């Protein structure tokens, strides 16, 4: 094998050193700076994205807190509005019930007076009819004429 021949060994070492030196210089001057700049850009972009994400997360927390605060305030306002509306409806229904009660009381009083008047009128008519019947009965049975005053005094 020619690679292991000691005669060519020095030449091989020389070219090996030249190739590796060239490769080292190429990597050190050209490839590694490009790779490092790409890595730095990536790291910077990642850090920027992380900072942006943190800012957005903080803003989202603030917005969520504001939304929660507004929701609780809105719920409180709705509860107060419902209570106020319920109280207003209860008050207005109580007022309407009082009006209806007073109207019914007035109508009951008027009806009671009307019934009492009709009762008294009916009793007067009955008394008059009784007096007439008694007068006619006595006049036909006994031929006695009795005045209405005497019959009235007798009935009462």
Domain ranges of the chain: 2-155
Show the DSSP H helices in the chain as ranges.
9-26, 32-142, 148-155
pLDDT in tens, 22-69: 999 988 898 889 999 999 999 999 999 999 999 999 999 999 999 999
Mean pLDDT for 91-108 is 95
Categorise residue 143: left if φ over 0, alpha if ψ from -120 to 50, beta otherwise: left
Residue 115: pLDDT above 90?
yes
- What's the pTM? 0.47
Tell me how far CA of residue 57 lies from CA of 54, 64, 71, 105, in angstroms. 5, 10, 20, 70
- Which CA distances in Å does 111 have to 52, 90, 125? 85, 30, 20
| C-alpha of 37 from chain center | 59
Q: What percent of the chain has a predicted confidence (pLDDT) above 70?
A: 96
Measure the CA–CA gap between 92 and 103, rounded to whole angstroms.
16
């Amino acid at each position: 094998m020619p690679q292991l021949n000691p005669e060519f060994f020095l030449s091989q070492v020389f070219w090996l050193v030249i190739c590796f030196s060239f490769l080292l210089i190429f990597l050190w001057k050209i490839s590694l700076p490009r790779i490092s700049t790409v890595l730095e850009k990536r790291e910077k972009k990642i850090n920027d994205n992380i900072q942006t994400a943190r800012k957005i997360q903080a803003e989202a927390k603030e917005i969520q807190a504001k939304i929660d605060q507004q929701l609780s305030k809105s719920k409180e306002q709705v509860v107060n509005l419902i209570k106020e509306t319920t109280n207003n409806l209860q008050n207005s229904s109580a007022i309407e019930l009082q009006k209806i009660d007073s109207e019914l009381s007035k109508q009951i009083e008027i009806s009671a007076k009307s019934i009492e008047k009709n009762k008294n009128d009916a009793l007067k008519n009955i008394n008059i009819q009784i007096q007439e019947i008694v007068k006619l009965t006595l006049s036909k049975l006994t031929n006695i004429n009795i005045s209405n005053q005497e019959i009235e005094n007798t009935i009462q």
